[in-house]
Amino acid sequence: MRTLIALFLAAFAATASAQDAPRDVHSYAQPDKVVIRDLGLDLRVDFERRVLRGHADLALEWRDPAARELVLDTRDLAIEKVLGKAADGRWLRLAHELGERDATLGQKLTIRMRKPYDSVRIRYATSPEASGLQWLEPSMTAGKTHPFMFSQSQAIHARSWVPLQDTPSVRYTYSARVRTDPAVMALMSADNPPDEPRDGDYVFRMRQPIPSYLMAIAAGDLVFRPISARSGVWAEPVTVEAAHAEFIDTEKMIEVAESLYGPYRWGRYDILVLPPSFPFGGMENPRLTFATPTVIVGDKSLVSLIAHELAHSWSGNLVTNASWNDLWLNEGFTSYVENRIIEALYGEEAAAMERVIAQSGLARSLKTLPKPAQILAPRPVEGSDPDDSMSDVAYDKGAWFLGFLESRVGREDFDAFLRGYFDHFAFQSIDTGQFVGWLREHLLASHPGAVTDKELEAWLYQPGIPASAVPTASARFEKVDAALKQWQSGRVAAADLDTAGWVTQEWLRFLEGMPAKLSNDRLVELDSAFGFTGSNNGEILMRWFPLTVRSGYFEARPAMAEFLQRVGRRKLILPIYAALAASREGREFARQVFERARPGYHPITTASVEATLAEKKR
């Protein structure tokens, strides 16, 4: 007899599968009535006014023949007019209304019509403060010569530069004409021919259907260096050679992923290296990953980020979470695939170290997260901000869960299952219930008893780390721990520790093993031996600087301020701001630095820093 848990999971899967377009609490759109199937953009990039201006043509598929309203998501867009295309080709003005502004969702745009038009055109302009766009003065770029603009659409920031159905449950193809200053190169998450002339007039086409958060645009002083026939690097001229050398293994990564999970289906895979103000490590925009320059450290020790963004070409871009409550379907799968790529290219121990760091970070995060936020597949919450769901839970608990499944059924069968999963749900958006149904039918049914219903329920719907989770061990980390113990006990001076050959991950383990505070003498000893304060490795600095703050090591303050003003990647700077905000003196220092750094921060980063400082103020 099936258990109550099994019945619950089966009912959850059946209900979710039956819903063709479940409601997304983070979107005003009504995809059960009408969906966008193709988007045509005609935009002009105005660096002086910091706006995009033009029109969007929406090709519509009406699912409800009685519907006469098209509801779209917008945020701070100036809507000039809305037109519908008549059967004779004429564009006729349509009535439209912008709703009240919601701090999270933006404004609902309702377009009313007497009949369901197949094509609607919206003329509009963005705001200089668009949450999904960043405009950089030449002085804020690596080359210091030309301005730079780039987008960040995930999670719901696409609506700040295009009026659309900003939900991952809707997928569409798109084309675009982008006109800009001929001195800069424009790129999009579409086809970007490496030999495209820089003439200020660019045409793009994305033939595979994508959700709105994967639409991206950038314009700046960009040049290209090939890695292989289908992959290469775009970057500013002063950055491109170092980026090319760091990411030279990209083609090998593609080949590994293809051998495991099937062909790469997006044509080219290129990498755009953005200025250091980019708020994330990377963004998996199809055909053109956006990447932070903070991973270019000269030894390839941080290229797991590229493996991660590439892995999204299967998990996330190809098979997409239908809403942000199922983010783990994107990030958990991707983190698992990333680790498999790292293992294949750099060895089992390199992959093990990455898993240990992730699992340790997850354990620390869970100590501060409320119970509902610790659940892999949480219930939708009205009024929530999907940016807040991007925690270690979706990434690292999700990857750990998939590793757990692999350990129970064997790698060969699990790889075959994943490949079938990606093939079956290709170019679709699904939810956790659909995954559970597919898992039961296509993996667990052929491995009876491998995973209990209670274990499955604990991983997906319960907070914390399940009892069935087996932590990863690393032989190299055991040596790091032994070295740290020798130093902490006073038996060996820092300069005498055997750290030759340590890679970034070993230094992170070393720093994460430190106590919350150290004496000034001990910090001076560490800094003299290893030069942490002067490091160019952001992963090291995001751990070292908070330690110096808690310990009162003011010698690190000038370098800390310089780093916070130069780098806008949230992962790297928020722990430092949080440590500073824990004291009155530190908070004042943080505010002074923030005011100088603010002009170079992305709006997403600015909001996160403001929230961090405000929270500590209370």
CATH number at residue 304: 3.30.2010.30
Identify the weakest region by mean pLDDT among 117-131, 172-186, 324-338, 382-396: 382-396
Residues 158, 227, single domain; the answer is: no
**Domain end point (choices 178, 200, 221):** 221
Candidates 424, 430, 457; CA nearest to 442 is 424
Mean pLDDT for the stretch of residues 65-82: 97
Cα distance between residue 33 and residue 247, in whole Å? 44
Tell me if 546 sits within 8 A of 581, measured CB to CB.
no
Residues 207, 226, single domain; the answer is: no
pLDDT band at 2 (very low <50, low <70, confident <90, very high): very low
Q: At 314, list the tokens.
A: 């299967």
Q: What is the mean pLDDT of the chain?
A: 94
Residues 126, 233, single domain; the answer is: no
Cα distance between residue 444 and residue 451, in whole Å? 7
Instruction: Give the pLDDT score at 380.
Output: 85
Instruction: Give the pLDDT score at 383.
Output: 80
Cα distance between residue 359 and residue 465, in whole Å? 10
Residues 117, 175, single domain; the answer is: yes
Does 442 appear as a known binding residue? no
Does 281 appear as a known binding residue? yes
Residues 212, 266, single domain; the answer is: no
**Domain end point (choices 283, 313, 343):** 313
Q: Going by DSSP bridges, is the β-strand pair 231-235/269-273 parallel, antiparallel, or unpaired?
A: parallel
Q: In what order do the strands lie in the sheet with 133-136?
A: 133-136, 148-151, 217-220, 185-188
Residues 305, 337, single domain; the answer is: no
Mean pLDDT for the stretch of residues 78-87: 97
Q: At 5, list the tokens.
A: 């848990």
**Domain end point (choices 461, 494, 529):** 461
Identify the weakest region by mean pLDDT among 17-26, 237-246, 539-548: 17-26
Cα distance between residue 432 and residue 15, in whole Å? 11
Hey, what amino acid is at 11? Answer: A
CATH code of the domain covering residue 404: 1.10.390.10
Higher per-residue pLDDT: 433 or 12: 433
Does 594 appear as a known binding residue? no
**pLDDT higher than 80, residue 58:** yes
pLDDT band at 432 (very low <50, low <70, confident <90, very high): very high
User: How far does the chain reach from its first CA to its final CA, in angstroms?
Assistant: 53
**pLDDT higher than 70, residue 409:** yes
Does 279 appear as a known binding residue? yes
Q: At 320, list the tokens.
A: 């997409």
Q: At 613, list the tokens.
A: 């400082």
DSSP strand E in 386-511: where?
A: 428-430
Q: Is residue 434 part of a domain?
A: yes
CA distances in angstroms from 414 to 47, 262, 336, 396, listed in the order given = 50, 14, 12, 18
Cα distance between residue 520 and residue 12, in whole Å? 56
**Catalytic residue status for 236:** no
Does 153 appear as a known binding residue? yes
Query: What three-state secondary structure class fits 20?
Result: coil
CATH code of the domain covering residue 591: 1.25.40.320
**pLDDT higher than 60, residue 14:** no
Mean pLDDT for the stretch of residues 172-192: 97
Query: What three-state secondary structure class fits 393?
Result: helix
Q: In what order do the strands lie in the sheet with 69-74?
A: 69-74, 107-112, 95-98
Instruction: Give the pLDDT score at 388.
Output: 77
Instruction: Give the pLDDT score at 247.
Output: 98
Does 571 appear as a known binding residue? yes
Mean pLDDT for the stretch of residues 347-357: 97
**pLDDT higher than 50, residue 123:** yes
C-alpha gyration radius of the chain: 25
Query: Is the bond into 155 cis (omega within 30 degrees of 0)?
Result: yes
Q: Is residue 285 part of a domain?
A: yes
- The phi and psi torsions of 583 (rounded to 5 degrees) equal -130, 160
Instruction: Give the pLDDT score at 391.
Output: 86
Does 312 appear as a known binding residue? yes
Q: Is residue 490 part of a domain?
A: no
pTM of the model: 0.92
Active-site entry in 236, 309, 338, 457: 309
Residues 366, 396, single domain; the answer is: yes
Taking only the tens place, the pLDDT of each residue in 486-536 is 999 999 999 999 999 999 999 999 999 999 999 999 999 999 999 999 999
Instruction: Give the pLDDT score at 615.
Output: 61
Mean pLDDT for the stretch of residues 294-305: 94
Residues 102, 118, single domain; the answer is: yes
Q: Is residue 493 part of a domain?
A: no
- The phi and psi torsions of 295 (rounded to 5 degrees) equal -90, -5
Biggest alpha carbon distance in the chain?
87
Mean pLDDT for the stretch of residues 67-94: 97
pLDDT band at 451 (very low <50, low <70, confident <90, very high): very high
Residues 264, 353, single domain; the answer is: no
**pLDDT higher than 90, residue 313:** yes
Active-site entry in 202, 346, 395, 421: 395
DSSP secondary structure string, 290-336?
A: EE-GGG--SSSTTTHHHHHHHHTTTBTTTEEESSGGGTHHHHHHHHH
Residues 79, 129, single domain; the answer is: yes
Instruction: Give the pLDDT score at 262.
Output: 97
**pLDDT higher than 90, residue 560:** yes
CA distances in angstroms from 132 to 28, 129, 325, 488, listed in the order given = 18, 9, 21, 46
Residues 278, 160, single domain; the answer is: no
Taking only the tens place, the pLDDT of each residue in 215-273 is 999 999 999 999 999 999 999 999 999 999 999 999 999 999 999 999 999 999 999 99
Does 486 appear as a known binding residue? no
Does 284 appear as a known binding residue? yes
**pLDDT higher than 80, residue 602:** yes
**pLDDT higher than 70, residue 378:** yes
Number of domains in the chain: 4
Does 308 appear as a known binding residue? yes
Cα distance between residue 50 and residue 44, in whole Å? 11
Residues 371, 403, single domain; the answer is: yes
**pLDDT higher than 50, residue 16:** no
Q: Is residue 123 part of a domain?
A: yes
Does 282 appear as a known binding residue? yes
Instruction: Give the pLDDT score at 22.
Output: 60
Identify the weakest region by mean pLDDT among 95-99, 387-391, 444-448, 562-566: 387-391
Instruction: Give the pLDDT score at 3.
Output: 40
Instruction: Give the pLDDT score at 390.
Output: 79
Cα distance between residue 495 and residue 499, in whole Å? 9
**Catalytic residue status for 309:** yes
Q: What is the domain range of residue 234?
A: 222-313
CATH code of the domain covering residue 155: 2.60.40.1730
Query: What three-state secondary structure class fits 110?
Result: strand
Cα distance between residue 599 and residue 618, in whole Å? 25
